[in-house]
Amino acid sequence: MKCRTIFKETIFTIGKMSSYFITALLCMFSAAVFAAKPHHITIALSNISEAISWYEEHLDCQAIPGRDDTVNCGNTEIEFFLGRTVGGSQGTGVDRIGFSVADLDSKMAELESVGVRGSGVRLVRFDDGALVREIPGLYKTAFITDPWGTKIELVQDEDLLGFHHIQLNSVDPSEALNFYSQVFGGERARLKGVLDGVTFDGIWVLASEYTDGRPGITQGRTIDHIGFEVASFDEVSMEMSRLGVEFRQEPAVPDNARSSSRQAFILGPDGVTISIVEPGWEGIEEELAVAEAQSTELYVIPRTPWGEPDIQGIWTADAAHGIPLQRGIDVAGTDELTPEEAAARRERGTLNSIWGYDREWRDTTLGYVTSAPSTQVAMVIDPPNGQLPETTAAYKELVANAPPRIPPQRARTPEDLGTYVRCITRGPVGMMMPSIYNNGLQILQSPGNVAIQKEMIHETRVISTEPREGFGDGLKTWLGDSHGRWEGDTLVVEVRNLNGRTSYLGSSPEMKLTQRFTRTGPNTLRYEFTVEDPAVWTEPWTGMFNFIKDDNQIELVEYACHEGNYGMTNTLSAARTIDAREAEESEYQE
């Protein structure tokens, strides 16, 4: 029987006054001990600073001064920590968290207008395609997921704006709600008379029946655990024991805690990990893992049996993903980023491309790739200012008079699309550049030859290092004619005779590309590329980044781009749909 019910009956039941009074006092004492309140939600993800920015921008949470891993969402905090997850929150004991906004239709229109690029907002549509659905007698509801896989329900409940509820999955929702009521002192109630739940000063804990076996445990998923604050652990420990609730981790001040408040862990129903903290809890200071420093000892490059520098192996450009080609204004005068800044830059690159693939599918996702993000400010190292040189007057005039480029939504044939979309090539410059996935590079050597294969589109170059006389006016090809030679420990490759159909930043068919590969450590390969094109730039320019050796994680498997190239067929199909729609609208207007 609930304590509140017993207390009311104590007043009106004279005949049972003595026994009920004692029971009421015991219940009131227990409730006082467990006068808990939801304190925080702890989310595991790959970059904290970008998560704080995301929750500030899209859910109106506020950063907390002095705590670089937490946001305040009105009446509850959301803590973030760096952790590799095995999936999002959906289907676990804590399926989602809920926020209430004043105007849900406007909020969803705002999120939809942001688009999928640059924010990582994923909108969930109902079966009829709508973003918002009204539940009679309750409120309007909508669903999104954050970039790291946490499911979020947005509702329009004017009675409680901001953080609104925790939605549980349970094989027995009623028993689960009883647990949170009895252990933490929440009040069993019905949200707007419709949904069963437990309320803690307005914050709701709700539960849905899970019928697909048992829900997944929260630990190791994006919502790793939920947290409640109690007045003190001194009485709590005894009462927990009386209720049969065991501590999975006894109350203690964690290492690197920001305050002297203690924390303990219990396991709730359906695999929900629950943190219990004392007042004043301010979280734990994260220790950022940094890349292992390069040895200062002189590195001796291994040699092949025939005496050439050995640069063979499988390498990856994952660490270089996110390095801009040119130095930005925001890093003027900066020689190198901090590890935190480099990780945040990498994460922004991931969010900017979240439309393409879930983060688990991409080589460059923080927490999955083994190489730390590069702290290099920009690729261009010459000119020294990190900027590309000026283009020539003739090139500027050519660009100004060029016919407008056919956008993908107007493509008439496959030839209107780029060579990358058509699975042909990214060109000799572009093929080496890091992207969101398929950054593997395999190098094989034999006497007088070096074979370089790039994972993306599986382009392979067999480069002769035997002495050769000039380039002549030979066959023009997609990747040009490559001549190789060894200059000390550096492989130098000159590329000419391009067919003009693999332009990089507007380069002409007369472009000369010089590539340099130098092994600078057991696991690092320095790659430099110099572009000389007097028809486009007023002077040559050079870029540089490092490949990292990764024979254990990276394997160059088949790149089946042509087979089922849905990107190209869907683009052309969409273009024809737009044509038909505009023709129909034009006919209607006439």
> Would the pLDDT of 265 be above 80?
yes
- pLDDT-derived band at 3, boundaries 50, 70, 90: very low
CATH class for the region spanning 37-277: alpha beta
Of the candidate ranges 332-341, 362-371, 383-392, 519-528, the one whose mean pLDDT is the lowest: 362-371
Section 273-296 average pLDDT: 76
pLDDT at residue 359, as a whole number: 65
**Is it the case that residue 234 has pLDDT exceeding 90?**
no
pLDDT band (50, 70, 90) for residue 120 = low
Cβ(196)–Cβ(190) below 8 Å: yes
Least confident segment among 48-52, 110-114, 414-418, 471-475:
471-475
Distance set, CA 253 to CA 125, 232, 240, 257 (Å): 44, 13, 19, 7
CB of 180 closer than 8 Å to CB of 36: no
Query: Quick one: pLDDT at residue 29?
Result: 41
- The answer on pLDDT for 205 being more than 90 is yes
DSSP 8-state assignment for residue 295: P
Q: Is 192 left (phi over 0), alpha (psi -120 to 50) or beta?
A: left
The average pLDDT across 234-247 equals 80
Contact criterion met (CB below 8 Å) for 464 and 483: yes
pLDDT value at residue 226: 96
Instruction: Work out the average pLDDT over 119-126.
Output: 79
Work out the mean pLDDT of the chain and round it to a whole number.
Answer: 87
Q: Tell me the average pLDDT across 490-518.
A: 95
Q: Determine the Cα–Cα distance for residues 532 and 511; give it in Å rounded to an integer.
A: 6
SS3 71: strand
pLDDT of 90 above 50: yes
Confidence band of 471 (pLDDT split at 50, 70, 90): confident
Q: Are strands 139-145 and 151-155 parallel, antiparallel or unpaired?
A: antiparallel
Q: CA-CA distance, 433 to 483, in Å (whole number)?
A: 20
pLDDT tens per residue across span 134-155: 999 999 999 999 988 899 999 9
Residue 223 CB contacts under 8 Å (≥ 6 apart), including other chains: 41, 42, 43, 89, 92, 94, 97, 150
Q: What is the pLDDT of residues 360-374, one digit of tens each?
A: 667 788 877 778 899
Whether residue 493 is predicted with pLDDT greater than 80 in this model: the reply is: yes
Domain ranges of the chain: 1-33, 37-277, 313-549
Mean pLDDT in residue range 218-236:
89
| Range from 31-35, 355-359, 374-378 carrying the lowest mean pLDDT | 31-35
- Provide, rounded to the nearest whole percent, the portion of the chain with pLDDT above 90: 61
DSSP label of 549: E
**pLDDT, average across residues 373-396:** 95
Q: 46 falls in which pLDDT band (50, 70, 90)?
A: confident
∠ CA 322-328-329, rounded to 5° = 150
